[in-house]
Amino acid sequence: MSEGAGELPASAVVVSGMRPTGRLHLGHLLGTLRNWVALQERYRCFFFVADWHVLTTDYEGPREVEASVRAMVADWLAAGLDPERSVIFRQSDVKEHAELALLLGMITPLGWLERNPTYKEQREQLAGRDLSTFGFLGYPVLQAADILLYHGAGVPVGIDQVPHVELTREIARRFNHLYGATLVEPRALLSEAPKVPGLDGRKMSKSYGNTVPLDEEPAVIERAMGRMTTDPRRARRTDPGDPEDCPAFDLHRLYCTPEEIDWVRRGCTTAGIGCLECKQVMIRHVLADLAPHRERRAQLERDPAAIDAVLAAGAAQARRVAQETMAQVRAALGRGGAGREEGGAAARPHPARPGREPQA
C-alpha cells in the first residue's frame, strides 16, 4: 500500500486531474479542491483538466466537454488554486500524454486492465453505453502516463482510487525493469476526505442528480437543502430521531460549531426541533461558505480570456517537463532524440533520480 503525504519530501511533485463533465458541486469543493489548495502550499503541483479521459466514456459528445473546461477551471481558481504556485493546464494541450500512453500500453498486460475494479463497476453503472472500446479498457494506461510524465511522487486520491495508483506503480516498475531506471513510482496520498452526502442521502454525485452546484443561486440551494433526506424515524414533527441516522447530520459535522451540534443532538432525540429547523442552521453555514466562492467565480467568468491565459501558461510549463521526460523515455528505449519536437529538451537525468521514490 502506498504511503501518505507525510512521507514525501518538500521537493516532491504532486499530480492530479479532474474530468470536465459538468458543473462542480459541494462534494468537489470539500473533498478535492480544498485538499489541492493545501497541497500546493507544500509541493510542486500539476493539476490538469482531463479532457481526453472524458472521451473514454462520453466519446459521442466532445463538444460538451469543451463547454465544461472553462467553467471547471473557474471553480478551481475560485477555490484558491494559484497559477503562481501550481501548474494548471489542459491534458490535450500537451501531446506527450498521448505518446507516453502509447508506449506504456505496449508493455501493460491485458489482464492488469481487465482486473481493474473501476472497469467492472463502470460497465455495470453505465450499462446503457457501449463501453467495449480500447479507450475505456486502456484508460488506466493514459492515467499512468498523466502521472509518470511529470515524475509525480504523490497522487491525492480517495481510498476507492488507490488501485489506480497501484497500477501506475506496477507499470512504472515494469518499464524500469525492461529499460532501466527512468520513471518515478508514485504514492497514493490518502487525504481525510469528508463524507459529503447528496440531497437524497447517497454520496453526492452528478450521476445521482443529488448535488449542490457551486454556481447555483443561494435561494435555490436553500430550497433544495431544505428538502434534504433526514432520519426516516421522523415521519412526524413529534417523532424523536437519531442524528447518527440522518444524512444531513454529516453536513452539520462539517459546518456547525460544537455548540450547534449539541443543540441538534438534543433537539432531534427529544423531538424538540423539527427537521427543517435543524437543517436551517447548517444551510446558513453552507451559504456563507459558498458566497465568496460564487463572487470570485463570477469575476472569472466575466473574463474568459484570463482563464484561457492560465491554461496556456500552464500548458507551456507542463510541456517543457513533458518533453524532457519523453527524451529520457526515448533514450531508455534506444530511440534517442527520434520523434522529438523541435526545441525539445535533450535527455538528461531528472533531479529526483528517475526510477527511485524520493526519500523523506
Domain boundaries, the chain: 5-195+304-332, 206-301
Cβ neighbours of 342 (radius 10 Å): 4
Domains 5-195+304-332 and 206-301 equal at CATH topology level: no
pTM of the model: 0.87
What is the 3-state secondary structure of 232-249? CCCCCCCCCCCHHHCHHH
Minimum mean pLDDT among 137-151, 251-265, 336-350: which range?
336-350
The 10 Å CB-count burial string (b at 16+, else e) for 26-47 is bbbbbbbbbbbbebbeebbbbb
Minimum mean pLDDT among 1-10, 20-29, 240-249: which range?
1-10
- Residue-level pLDDT at 309: 98
Fold assignment, 5-195+304-332:
Rossmann fold (3.40.50)
Least Cα distance to 196 among 60, 27, 58, 328 occurs for 27
- Residue-level pLDDT at 116: 79
Minimum mean pLDDT among 58-72, 92-106, 150-164, 220-234: which range?
58-72
- Residue-level pLDDT at 132: 77
DSSP annotation string for 44-80: EEEEEE-HHHHTTT-TT-HHHHHHHHHHHHHHHHHHT
pLDDT higher than threshold 70 for residue 79: yes
pLDDT higher than threshold 60 for residue 359: no
Which of the given ranges, 70-84, 132-146, 232-246, has the highest pLDDT on average? 70-84
In this prediction, residue 357 has a pLDDT band, given cuts at 50, 70 and 90, of very low
Q: Which CATH superfamily includes the segment(s) 206-301?
A: Tyrosyl-Transfer RNA Synthetase (1.10.240.10)
